[in-house]
Amino acid sequence: MKPYHQIPIKDCGEPLMPIPLDSFSIELPHPYVKLGAEYGDKSPYCLRQGVVQALLEAQFLIEKRHPHWKIRIYDAYRPVGVQQYMVNYTFNSLVKSLELQEEQLSAQQRQDLWNRVYRLWAAPSLDKNMPPPHSTGGAVDVTIINEQGTMLDMGGEIDELSERSHPDYYLSDQDGDNQQYHFNRQLLNRVMTNAGFCRHPGEWWHFSLGDQMWAWQHNQNNPHGRAIARYGRV
């Protein structure tokens, strides 16, 4: 259970709607579809209506400062079944990268590996009080591309299982390249938060609006805050 799961949910009933993809940059096929995840009749490129509007505002803000730059959407809506698939995929990939054999793992080894997975991935819970953020339509994973269509270097990959995923990993690093990575992350954070999003405290690419994590962060930053989530699982 994550701290933000304590936040109550009162779903506003806002529908999922397609993201107007011509306003953004995307990867086709979708990264998780390429890995074998099945979305059924749902598109990964949809979000709650209010989140789409905020994302368009963020695109306006980045383009106002840097003409022809675009927000690149890596992932948006994610059914719980896809969340389960990616959690399992990440665990299996981690076992392989460490040159381990799953059938030979001790109980402690297995638990340690799952702990690493769940530091990045939300549990694929079907409990309506603890929905994975992406399964609410209120969370989106993004980065930025420049006018040449090149992604800004953030000093780490989206979904990377390492300390580099922390938004402020390069904050105190005096190396020139690493300072640029931090600057790029701050630019992304600034345009997204100015549009109403909150950034995940452990992932530079993950932003939410209206879900439990968003409400929890709002209340953390406002001592008298009483925000609740307006988006539950869809």
CB 232 within 8 A of CB 128: yes
Q: CA-to-CA distance for 139 and 229, rounded, in angstroms?
A: 12
Q: Does residue 163 register a pLDDT over 90?
A: yes
3-state secondary structure of 158: coil
Backbone φ and ψ of 74, nearest 5°? -90, -45
Domain boundaries of the chain, sorted by first residue: 3-221
Q: CA-to-CA distance for 101 and 158, rounded, in angstroms?
A: 26
Q: Does residue 104 register a pLDDT over 90?
A: yes
Q: Does residue 223 register a pLDDT over 90?
A: no
- Position 167 scores a pLDDT of 98
Q: What's the pTM?
A: 0.96
3-state secondary structure of 27: coil
Residues annotated as catalytic are 203
CB 112 within 8 A of CB 100: no
Q: CA-to-CA distance for 154 and 163, rounded, in angstroms?
A: 13
Q: Does residue 5 register a pLDDT over 90?
A: yes
What CATH number should be reported for the domain whose range is 3-221?
Answer: 3.30.1380.10
Average of per-residue pLDDT across 115-124? 96
Distances (CA, A) of 85 to 36, 117, 152: 8, 13, 28
| pLDDT per position as a tens digit, 44-83 | 999 999 999 999 999 999 999 999 999 999 999 999 999 9
Backbone φ and ψ of 229, nearest 5°? -75, 140
